[in-house]
Homo-oligomer: A and B are copies of this chain.
Amino acid sequence: MQVDWEKILAARAKTIVGFQIRSFFHLTEKPEVISFAGGFPADSGFPTAEIKEALACLLETEGKEALQYGPTEGIFELRQFIARKMAGEGISAPVESIMITNGSQQGLDLVFRLLLDPHDYILVEEPGYIGGLGAIQNYQGTRVGIPLGKEGLDLDYLEKKLKLMKMKGRKPKCIYTIPNFQNPTGAVLPLEGRRRLLELASEYDFLIVEDNPYGEICFEGEKLPSIKSLDKEGRVIYLGSFSKIFVPGIRVGWVLAPAPFMNKLILAKQATDLCSNSLGQRLLCQVLRSGFLAGHVEKLVKHYRLKRDIILESMERYFPPQVQFTRPRGGFFTWVSFPSSLYPPAGEILLKALERKVAFVHGDGFYSTAGKIPSYEARFSFSQPAPEQLEEGIKRLGQLLYEMQRLSKSAAVSGS
Interface residues of A (CB under 8 A from B): 1-5, 8-13, 16-19, 22, 40-41, 43, 46, 48, 51-52, 55-56, 59-60, 63-70, 72, 101-103, 105-106, 109, 113-117, 120, 131, 134-135, 137-139, 173, 202-203, 205, 207, 233-235, 243, 247-251, 258, 260-261, 264, 266-268, 270-280, 283
Contact A3/B138 with A63-B48, A103-B274, A248-B68 known, Cβ cut-off 8 Å: no
Q: Which residue of B1, B8, B43, B205 is within 8 Å of A203 (Cβ)? A: B1
Known: A55-B59, A113-B138. 16 other contacts (CB 8 A): A3-B205, A5-B261, A9-B114, A10-B120, A12-B114, A18-B266, A19-B270, A22-B72, A41-B68, A46-B64, A101-B273, A105-B272, A106-B273, A249-B277, A251-B273, A279-B283
Contact A233/B70 with A48-B59, A56-B56 known, Cβ cut-off 8 Å: no
A68 touches B18 (CB 8 A): no
B271 touches A109 (CB 8 A): yes
Residues of chain B with a CB closer than 8 A to A40's CB: 68-69
Residues of chain B with a CB closer than 8 A to A131's CB: 270-271, 274
Please state the number of chain copies in the assembly. 2
* Interface pairs A-B: 3 shortest CB-CB: A134-B271, A249-B278, A52-B59
- Within the complex, what minimum Cβ distance (angstroms) separates A120 from chain B? 7
Measured CB to CB, the nearest residue on chain B to A138 is: B271
Contact A67/B46 with A2-B233, A134-B270, A233-B3 known, Cβ cut-off 8 Å: yes
Measured CB to CB, the nearest residue on chain B to A278 is: B249
Measured CB to CB, the nearest residue on chain B to A206 is: B8
26 contacts between A and B (CB under 8 A): A1-B202, A1-B205, A1-B233, A3-B235, A5-B258, A5-B260, A10-B117, A12-B114, A13-B113, A16-B264, A43-B67, A48-B67, A51-B59, A52-B56, A52-B59, A67-B249, A69-B243, A69-B248, A106-B273, A135-B272, A138-B271, A249-B277, A249-B279, A251-B275, A277-B280, A279-B279
